[in-house]
Structure 1
Amino acid sequence: MDERDPEIERNFIIFMVVVMICLFGWMYFSARNAQKKPLPQQKSVVQETSPAKQEPAPEITEPETIPSQKPEESQPLQLAQNPEIEEKTITVTSPLYKIVFSNKGGVPISWELLKYKDRVYFPYEISLKWPPFKRVEKFTPQPVQLIRPELKDKPPLRSRIVVNGMEIQPDTLWDVEAKDISVENGPAEVEFRLTLSQGVVLKKIYTFYPDQYRSELKIEYSGLEPDPKQSWTELELSYWFEPKSRLARLNFHGALNYTGKSLVRFNTNDLNKKFLSAEKAKTNPQELVSYEKKSLTVESVDWTGFTDSYFLTAILARSDTPLKVWAYFDGTMEMVEDKNASKEYAMKIKAQPGAQDISSHCLTQLELYFGPKEKQGLEKVRKSLAAAIDYGKYLGVIAIPMMYALIYTNKLVHNFGWSIVILTIILRMAMFPITRRGQKSMKELQKLQPEMEKIRKKYPDDRLKQQEELTALYRKYKINPMGGCLPILIQIPIFFAFYRVLLVSIELRHAPWILWIQDLSSRDPLLILPLLMGLSQFFMQKLTPTTTMDPTQAKMMMLMPLVLTFMLVYFPSGLLLYWTVSNIIGIAQQIYVNKVSE
């Protein structure tokens, strides 16, 4: 008798059942797959066993299409090497700009605005540093560069392209027709081509217009059916800046993202503070390399870009494919040495278009704006772009009408300096009724000076009692002691609004006035206007009654013109022109009121 272990026998039976199920299952699914793909198997049978047998036409033509695609789809895309392609540049010129492209990545490596210069030359300069007077070395102003050639190895505008999982490297050489292009009589295109394996061709097409700072970027494909989950593009925009720049701290410099409702900002001042605090602590600035904690992610973005006081570089989405944007400081803090050997750091934006219908042979279609922040020009491209001109949430109520008034006046006199003079006269004359009321109030207070002195002597140690008696005196004669402050209070927001106009209005950048004032948006090179402003302020205060002040306060107020002169030495000359003219008119008005009051 066979004495086998029943446990082993049961396990053996289970094992055989599982094996049989797997075997029959494999045969079943193999048969099903064979039924789904009968044509390729028929072809192999026909070719191997009965080559002379005649088959119907559909059974011969279909197998040639399906197998020919299947092996190709299973193979990853590769770059088709072309040793004849060499690195080269193409120049695009219009009346507004000059752009140099490199076929290395198919990106712009230089972008100049021909109608705007980087600075203004004046042969002499006076400053508060020693020696105070110096002769400025002769130089020729150059066009403003939104993309500087020295950054060609780190191009500020580049694209990341992924097709069916294959990423095109940024240093890839694209094929392009080596000829310069002039954009004068109509739109012109620069087309970069890249050939991949399996006959796939990518195209990167830039379109330019003769009378606009707007351009278009389109990335197309042919020869494949891209997988939407593995095919996408991303644009990277960089902004290089010097953290210690005074102007960068005075005005917003950094990334802007417009979401259709509001602006989302990412300011370079975040890095300025970090840099300056490290400098005060005697920290090596290179230790700031690790500063990469703060970043910003914004979705459903209509346009994104970088701005400084006067210029904007922006990527604009199509209405049906809003952008997803990441703004951040480059974690490596790559440093660039310019001709002055000043250290610069990069803030970067990555903009990824939303999902779009790629069946139209277009991976990405975007617009670019590289140009001045001129309101009408921005609105012509896209109305929301004008939001990049930041006059301030509250100051804008005064600054925007003031800017329009200056532009209108400039059309009449063709000089923004004289426009400032005319506008200042109009403002002072419009405020004269209020000014006169305040000046009359001060004169009336002057008449009460003897009685006010009696009250002060009567209660020398009781300030509260003094104030009660003085208030009763004001009520008796119906005098408002604060009436003289009203004209000054009104002028304060006007002053700051005008300063904002000079700081962000491209129309006033490098606008000349007379003789030595060749740029109303920058400081007076000879410091004449600060001195005139200080003198006019001194005479203004001498004519203004100071009856409510004690002698110590009066002496301190007399020092104010000197303090203001030193404080405003480096402020825009247009602002000092406004203040000086305003003081001169104020002096004339005060003399008139004093004579009438007598």
Structure 2
Amino acid sequence: MDWQRNGLLAGILLVAVLLFSQWLGFSEARKPEPTAEQLLIPDQQQLPTALVDELVDEAAAQSDLPQLSGSAAQLPAVTGTTNSRLVTVESEQFTVVIDSYGGDIVQVKLKQHLTEPQAKGGRPFTLLTRTQNNTYIAKSGLVGVNATDTRDGRPQFTVARDNVEVDTGIEQLDLVTRQAGVLLTKRFTFTPGSYQIGIEYLIDNISAERWSAVFYGQINRDSHQPLVNATGVQPYLGAALRTAEKNYRKVTFGDMQEGKLQESIRGGWVAMLQHYFIGAWIPPQDATNHFSLRQIGGQDLYVMGYTSEPIVVEPGQSGSYKTSFYAGPKDQDTLAELAEYLDLTIDYGFLWLLAKPIFTLMQWIHNVVGNWGWSIILLTVVIKLVLYPLSAASLKSMAKMRKLQPEMARLKDLYGDDRQKMSAELMGLYKKHKVNPAGGCLPVLLQMPVFIALYWVLLESVEIRHSSFIFWLTDLSAKDPYFVLPLIMGASMFFMQRLQPMPPDPMQAKIMQIMPIAFTFFFMLFPAGLVLYWTTNNLLSMAQQVIVNRQIENGKG
């Protein structure tokens, strides 16, 4: 009996530890988001020339192209203002702000994803920004032989308009500058319904010399945590890229502090990840790209980016270079289409093999019923049906033990003071009736991998963020504000225990009686969607146990 008691205690302890670890992670991940600050205007910004210097050195080492010599014809002056300006692009998906100095994306606000549910006054979520206390921008330019970005500064583009509206068709924003004999247009392309921003350099070389440069795309970011966290497990904040050895490699801020990381690969991507959202450079997939991740001079500033193969335009010819930047939610289908393995940035943890099909099934159900709450309930029904063959034997064992309660009570009265004799008699009773006393843990242990996988699905899947269910449940990815679901869940655990026999060991019995209370407190800070799953699972388990108990009592088991 000791091994059975110890096994039961170990199983209960394992469940409690797993629940507590996930509870810590979620409670820390749901701290309120900070309010946005005012966007820095161009004359307040500082040019981090060290970044340009490093890229120039890299480009020179990669290109092996001769330096231009001699003079080139001058283009006529381009009309329009040359003062640095912030250009705002509005679409249904986001608001994008582009600085004409350098042509960087300095702010992205996501209109379809709010800081909190709309009923609570949520504002568009700020993903990229450039404020006094926070830097997260997408920088790009040309370095190398005929660089526009040099040690002396960056190009001041001329732009014809300050506002762009993206309605039903594709919109383009052209930023224009010139070198000696070369007209350069930096074109941004916006597509309705898309978070992908196309970026293209158009090079019109009317000079007598060959023109060459290397494109670079960067994410410049500090380590500012968009969700205020304290301790415990929390959603990953950091960089990731595809390498030759790994389809998905995380690179933390600490990794970049230790030294510069470099990788050359055909295609590839580099991204900055945070809870639910991603900013990613997606270079041409048919070219070799050179990726680099590093910290800048001991500052709280990190650079994740890539440089292209050399772009060469012969005299009197035109050329171009196309790339794209994605700034938006971690949508699995969209990311998978943009680049190979980019969808792996939706990190479901060590149980991703289980989490992915769970999300796929839940998404399919959602497409039918149109509500994530009902999708979770129907998903629970499917999971219970799938796991029933594994849990049926355990349910029957519990029903038989419940039927044997009078006999177990008689043995306790006879041999209560002789633990060895009591254990031997109970083992004989269990063997005679083919009962496994530890079988009651099996249904719970079977549910734990599904529970943890679903936890990561709810934590990582932006589709469920701020999704409402019924009445007071306006956000299934957040805790129940009134703790109604956790209390119902605790009550369901209590009544389910009434359908099962209590262990003969007093310590086991006390632990089983405490579990509904402990679970209730754990679940008070879990996402409501997860509590909904566990509550539904308990109710279905109760129904199954009632049916099996009746079968055993009627002699059919």
TM-score of the aligned structures, taking structure 2 as reference length: 0.75
Distance in 1, Cα, partners of 2:192 & 2:214:
31
Structure 2 residue aligned with 1:108: 105
1:88 to 85, 88, 109: 85
TM-superposed CA distance for 1:77, in Å, is: 12
1:258 aligns with 2:242: yes
Tell me how far 1:170 sits from its aligned partner: 5.4
Per-residue deviation, residues 366-420 of structure 1 (Å, max 9, x unmatched): 1221222222222333353222222235x23332222222222223332111221
Contact 1:107 1:155 in 2 (8 A): no
- Once residues 195 and 517 of structure 2 are traced to their aligned partners in structure 1, the CA distance between those partners, rounded to angstroms, is 46
Which residue number in structure 2 is paired with residue 73 of structure 1? 69
Residue in 1 aligned with 2:161?
178
- Contact 2:373-2:529 at 8 Å conserved across structures: yes
Residues in 2 aligned to 1:258 and 1:72: alpha-carbon distance in whole angstroms: 35
Determine which structure has more spread, i.e. the larger CA radius of gyration: 1
The amino acid that maps onto 2:533 is Y
Match of 2:257 among 292, 301, 310: 292
1:435-584 matches, cutoff 5 A: 435-446=391-402, 447=404, 449-450=408-409, 453=412, 457=416, 460=419, 474-547=430-503, 549-584=504-539
In the TM superposition, residue 157 of structure 1 has moved relative to its aligned partner by 1.0
Instruction: Measure, in 2, the Cα distance between the counterparts of 1:294 and 1:150.
Output: 27
Return closer, same or farther for 1:247/1:90 CA change in 2, 3 Å cut-off.
farther
Paired residues for 1:324-339 under 5 Å: 324-334=290-300
> Partner residue of 1:305?
271
CA contact (8 A) 2:247 2:341 kept: no
2:412 and 2:422 in contact (8 A); partners too: no
Distance 1:154 1:73, change over 3 A: farther
The amino acid across from 2:273 in the alignment is T
Match of 1:322 in 2: 288
Cα RMSD of the aligned pairs, angstroms, is 3.6
Query: Is the aligned partner of 1:592 residue 2:535?
Result: no
**1:202 corresponds to which of 184, 187, 195:** 184
Q: Indicate the residue corresponding to 1:150 in structure 2.
A: 131
The 2-side partners of 1:411 and 1:320 are apart by 35
Q: Please report how far the alpha carbon of residue 491 of structure 1 lies from its aligned counterpart in structure 2 after TM superposition.
A: 1.0
Q: Which has the higher contact order (CA 8 A, sep 6+)?
A: 2
The corresponding residue for 1:415 is: 371
Following TM superposition, by how much is the alpha carbon of 1:223 offset from its aligned partner in structure 2, in angstroms? 4.2
Q: Distance in 2 between matches of 1:256 and 1:452?
A: 62
Partner AA of 2:408 in structure 1: Q
Q: Which of 200, 211, 221 lines up with 2:193 in the alignment?
A: 211
Aligned residue-pair number: 474
**Separation in structure 1 between the aligned mates of residue 71 and residue 460 of structure 2, nearest angstrom:** 55
Contact preservation (8 Å) 1:159, 1:236: yes
Q: Map of 1:232-251 to 2, 5 A cutoff?
A: 232-240=214-222, 241-242=224-225, 245=229, 249-251=233-235
1:505 shift after superposition: 1.4
Q: Does 1:159 align with 2:140?
A: yes
SS at match of 1:407: helix
SS at match of 1:73: coil
Of the structure 1 ranges 366-375 and 295-304, higher mean CA displacement relative to structure 2 is found in 295-304
Q: Deviations over 1:204-226 (max 9, x none)?
A: 22222223222222234334545
- Return the offset for 1:316: 0.9
Q: Secondary structure at the match of 1:354?
A: coil
Contact 2:157–2:175 at 8 Å: present in 1 too? yes
C-alpha distance in 1 between matches for 2:202 and 2:233: 42
Shift of 1:255: 1.1
The answer as to 2:303 corresponding to 1:348 is: yes
Q: Tell me the secondary structure at the aligned position of residue 361 of structure 2.
A: helix
The structure-2 alpha-carbon separation of the partners of 1:472 and 1:303, relative to structure 1 and needing over 3 Å to count, comes to same
Q: How many Å apart are 1:305 and its aligned residue?
A: 0.7
Q: How far did residue 441 of structure 1 move?
A: 0.7
1-structure distance, mates of 2:411, 2:77: 95
**Aligned mate of 1:384, from 341, 365, 389:** 341
**CA 1:466–1:239 in structure 2 vs 1: closer, same or farther (change >3 Å)?**
farther
Give the match for residue 38 of structure 1. Answer: none
| 1:366 counterpart = 2:351 | no
Distance in 2 between residues matched to 1:500 and 1:493, nearest whole Å: 11
Structure 1: distance between partners of 2:259 and 2:497: 49
Return the offset for 1:190. 1.6
* Structure 1 SS opposite 2:489: helix
What CA distance in whole angstroms lies between the structure 2 residues aligned with 1:78 and 1:245? 55
| Whole-angstrom distance in 2 between the partners of 1:170 and 1:469 | 88
SS of the residue 2:193 aligns to: coil
Matching residue of 1:343: none
Aligned counterpart for 2:114 among listed residues 113, 117, 121:
117
Residue 11 of structure 2: aligned partner: none
Contact kept, 8 Å, 1:257 with 1:298, in 2: the verdict is: no
**Matches of 1:320 and 1:429, distance apart in 2:** 46
Displacement, 1:478? 2.9
Secondary structure at 1:495 match in 2: helix
Counterpart code for 2:175: F
The 3 A distance-change label for structure 1 pair 183 and 351 is: same
CA distance in 1, matches of 2:144, 2:356: 47
What residue ranges of structure 1 are gaps of 5+ in the alignment? Answer: 1-70, 123-138, 272-290, 335-345
Distance 1:455 1:434 in 2: 36
Q: 2:49 aligns to what?
A: none
Give the Cα–Cα distance (whole angstroms) in 2 for the partners of residues 245 and 391 of structure 1.
20
Q: 1:457 offset after TM fit, Å?
A: 4.7
Q: Residues 295 and 516 (structure 1 numbering): CA distance in 2 closer, same or farther, change over 3 Å?
A: farther
**Distance in 1 between the 2:169 and 2:336 partners?**
21
**CA shift at 1:509, angstroms?**
1.1
Instruction: Look up the SS of the partner of 1:148 in the other structure.
Output: strand
**Cα-to-partner distance string for 1:317-349 (whole Å, 9 max, x where unaligned):** 212323222223455444xxxxxxxxxxx5431
> Contact 1:110 / 1:149 at 8 angstroms: preserved in 2?
yes
Aligned residues of 2:269 and 2:283 also touching (Cα < 8 A): yes
Secondary structure of the 1:443 match is helix
Of 371, 375, 379, the residue aligned with 2:332 is 375
Q: 1:259 to 1:361 in 2, by over 3 A?
A: farther
Percent identity over the alignment is 28
Contact kept? 1:292, 1:331, Cα under 8 Å = no
CA distance in 1, matches of 2:367, 2:311: 46
Q: 1:267 to 1:558 in 2, by over 3 A?
A: farther
The SS at the match of 2:344 is helix
- Indicate if the aligned counterparts of 1:104 and 1:170 stay in contact, CA closer than 8 A: no
The residue type equivalent to 1:141 in the other structure is G
Query: How many angstroms apart in 1 are the aligned matches of 2:310 and 2:469?
Result: 52
Q: For 1:562-591, what per-residue CA distance to the aligned partner results, in whole angstroms no more than 9, with x for missing partners?
A: 222222222111001111121122223333
Q: Does 1:141 align with 2:141?
A: no
